[in-house]
Chain A
Amino acid sequence: MADAVQRAHAELDARVRERTADLTRTNRHLHDEIASRRRAEEAFRAQAELLDLTHDTVFVRDAKDVITYWNRGAVDRYGWTPDEAVGMVSHDLLRTVFPAPFEEIMAELTRTGRWEGELVHTRRDGATVIVASRWSLQKADERRLAAVLETNNDITERKRAEESLRQAQAELAHLTRVMTLGELAASIAHEVTQPLAAIVTNGDACLRLLATEPPNLGESRNAVDSIIRDARRAVAVVARVRALLKKSDLERRPLDLGQVIRDVLALVQSEIARHRIELVTSLADDLPPVLGDRVQLQQVVLNLLTNAIEAMRDVTGRTRGLLISARRHDIGPDAGVLVAVEDAGVGFERARVDQIFEALYTTKPDGLGMGLSISRTIILSNGGRLWGTSNGSYGATFQFVLPGWKDRP
């Protein structure tokens, strides 16, 4: 009995020892595990602190674009603390504007493992910043995306500088064209000064010839002849300039305005396509002929169309629609034609409606401000009217009417 008790005791003892050793082993194992985790955590923290040192904005988002890491640079750039940012969907928080459809960007990221581009972000204080963004992909396995590291550089200032440079260049181009007008004026001045200088010199010579004793009448007469000839020459120069401005070599004949419009549309077709404009034409078949110069009327239509195209150059977020129509429009008992060009562009302020027809008034950075002024003069000289109206929501409509040609003297 005592033996049995003793054996049982010894067995129990052995079991307890065994169990204790087991526990000790497990405990040691756990200690090791904790220590290694702590080391890993420290390493991670150290790395995160390193990321905090960079001036770049760095953040990490998971497969669902939820922010999991937010560095010091991100705090500075956007204004949210890591506590506020982590857990938010990054594109919602930053109201990201992408340069291309999001699906395309993600496709490139999954295919190549990286993506670069310019993004527009909105900061906590509501200001927008333009950033050069670089995305790197971390994969969980072959198919699934684990996380995206996004590094952003603020390029707002650079963008602004580029824009002002572009504007300066446009102003320079405008100036160059005005200079050309100045050169034209200088050339005209030279053309007129030449005969005037000869007249003055001949006049002086004539006085000297008359002052001799006896006066040299024969040569004096020659001098006066030259004076008259050169004066006529000066008059001819002035007449040429006036003709240039008046375009007196007009050929006025009955015209089909629909054909005039089709001719011009053929010219601007590529411009329309290049600016991704949706053109609608509505040219009636029953247009009465109008009397006018083909080239001049083409100029008017071309001017209205190019104005419309330019007005829509910066339009985004709505269809760049352009409507040109021509229809019969009787003025009292007389037949006439109404042409309208309607755009969805930037339009003009109602208060400026009179100004836009003035010479040298322009809203375009590289415009001369002559187009509408010349167009109105042409239409007026053909017995018509040209006017512009601001559309309800956006864009403008310019239209003109011309009286129909009457086949009688």
Chain B
Amino acid sequence: MSGDESVVSIVDDDPSMCEALTRLLGTVGLRAEAFKTPQEFLKTKRPEAPSCLVLDVRLPGLSGLDLQRELANTDPPVQIVFITAHGDIPMTVQALKAGAVDFLTKPFRDQQLLDAVRQAIDRDRAARRQWADVAGLRRRYESLTQREREVMTLVVTGLLNKQIAAQVHTSEATVKAHRAQLMRKMEADSVAQLVRIAEELNLLPPRR
């Protein structure tokens, strides 16, 4: 992992713990940035590189679990490794159900933490890759004209050119031209591929 761009954010109100964690992560070449409060963390821009959050449960003000709830709607999701001095089972279950990578009780073994952090960063990297793909598709879709988008929606529902022409009140030849144009812009080689893209972009009507 040494040498990569990954960043580990740490939120713990105990500066000693922040310092010790930063040092430990440094021994495996991971860059860390520490925050004393959830608010400080929320104010900072999310790193561009794959990252994760090492989060203490018991914090002044907003608790670790509150912060997790706050971050629930971020896309791609923030991968969280919880650390706590007094974890009980319901708390652990709640955190893991809400998608936490791991829940470690202080004091923990170094390898336990490093494994959890590594897993969290891997998850984030995969999520970012997928997210980037979808973002690319969305950009292509946005380059379509209004009419092309209309035609695309009808194509992926399986209509023939003739049927589409009737629906949008134009000639079959015009539909054919739009169709060729949008296939090119969406970089789709076949109707099947176009359907997959539409699915990624959430354009398909809900299946019955």
A residues with a Cβ closer than 8 A to B are 186, 189-190, 193-202, 204-205, 208-209, 212, 219, 222-223, 226, 229-230, 233
Contacts and interface: CB of A to CB of B under 8 A. Distances in A.
A179 to B, nearest CB: 15
A197 to B, nearest CB: 4
B16 A229 contact: yes
A226 B86 contact: no
A213 B107 CA distance: 28
Interface of B: 14, 16-17, 19-21, 23-24, 26-28, 58, 85-86, 106-110, 113
Contact of A223 (B23, B106, B108, B113): B23
Nearest to B21: A201
Nearest to A192: B85
Nearest to B56: A194
Contacts of B106: 193-194, 196-197
Given A197-B85, A201-B110, A204-B110, A222 B23 contact: yes
B110 A233 contact: no
A233 B16 CA distance: 10
A201 B107 contact: yes
13 contacts: A190-B58, A193-B85, A194-B16, A194-B106, A196-B106, A199-B20, A201-B23, A202-B24, A205-B24, A208-B28, A209-B23, A219-B23, A219-B26
Contact of B19 (A186, A208, A226): A226
B85 A190 contact: yes
Given A190-B58, A196-B107, A200-B107, A230 B16 contact: yes
Contacts of A198: 14, 16-17, 19-20
A284 B109 CA distance: 68
A214 to B, nearest CB: 14
Closest 4 CB pairs of A and B: A204-B110, A197-B106, A200-B107, A201-B20
B27 to A, nearest CB: 4
A222 B26 CA distance: 13
A195 B110 CA distance: 16
B14 A204 contact: no
Contacts of B26: 205, 219
A226 B24 contact: no
Contacts of B28: 208
| Among B14, B20, B85: residue with most chain A CB under 10 A | B20
A254 B3 CA distance: 71
Contacts of A194: 14, 16-17, 85, 106
Nearest to B110: A204
A99 to B, nearest CB: 50
Contacts of A204: 24, 109-110
B86 A186 contact: yes
Nearest to B83: A197
Contacts of A201: 17, 20-21, 23-24, 107-108, 110, 113
A27 B85 CA distance: 108
Given A190-B58, A194-B16, A194-B85, A205 B23 contact: yes
B20 A205 contact: yes
Contacts of B21: 201
Nearest to A220: B23
Given A186-B86, A190-B58, A219-B23, A205 B16 contact: no
A133 B201 CA distance: 80
A129 B109 CA distance: 68
A202 B23 contact: yes
Contacts of A219: 23, 26
Contacts of B23: 201-202, 205, 209, 219, 222-223, 226
Contact of A208 (B16, B58, B110): B110
A202 B110 CA distance: 9
Contacts of B58: 190
Contacts of B17: 194, 197-198, 201
